[in-house]
Amino acid sequence: MAMVDALITADDYFDAAAGVREPTQLIDGVIVPSQPKPRHQKVTARIWQRLDAWIQGPGFGDAGIPIDVIVNRYNVYAPDVWWVADAARVDRGEHLARDRGSPAARGQA
């Protein structure tokens, strides 16, 4: 169930989501709650633990757990676990990663 009636941009989303306590994502311009169940969280933790151990080798990229991935103007996803091969693609600012290479990010989706 959407929390807003009008389409909003990623910038508007960050302003609106600041006052919301539950996890959300911006999907096609609509704020959508994304509250995972306990079993899902347990599986996510196991995936993260193994991925974290694997990336300790040189050149294995970077990984993390929920962050804001700005796909395009109307989509901001919060993947449960993320990995990038090139650690240089990770923006260490307020939003830890930005998708710059997908068709959606280039406006082709």
Determine the CATH number of domain 10-98: 3.90.1570.10
Alpha-carbon distance of 30 to 71, in angstroms, equals 14
Residue 47 confidence class, pLDDT cut points 50, 70, 90: very high
Rounded to the nearest angstrom, the gap between the alpha carbon of residue 75 and the centroid of all alpha carbons in its chain is: 10
Calculate the average pLDDT of the chain.
78
**Average confidence (pLDDT) over 65-84:** 86
Alpha-carbon distances of 4 from 12, 52, 79, 107, rounded to whole Å: 12, 36, 21, 24
Lowest mean pLDDT among 19-23, 51-55, 74-78, 101-105: 101-105
**Average confidence (pLDDT) over 26-51:** 89
pLDDT at 106 over 70: no
**Which residues does 67 contact at the CB level (< 8 Å), separation at least 6?**
78, 79, 82, 95, 96, 97
Handedness of CA 7, 92, 66, 71 (dihedral sign): positive
**pLDDT computed for residue 93 by the predictor:** 60
Rounded to the nearest angstrom, the gap between the alpha carbon of residue 92 and the centroid of all alpha carbons in its chain is: 14
The domain ranges of the chain are 10-98
Q: What is the pTM of this model?
A: 0.63
31 with 24: CB under 8 angstroms?
A: yes
Q: Of the ranges 2-16, 53-67, 87-101, which is most confident? A: 53-67
Residue 109 confidence class, pLDDT cut points 50, 70, 90: very low
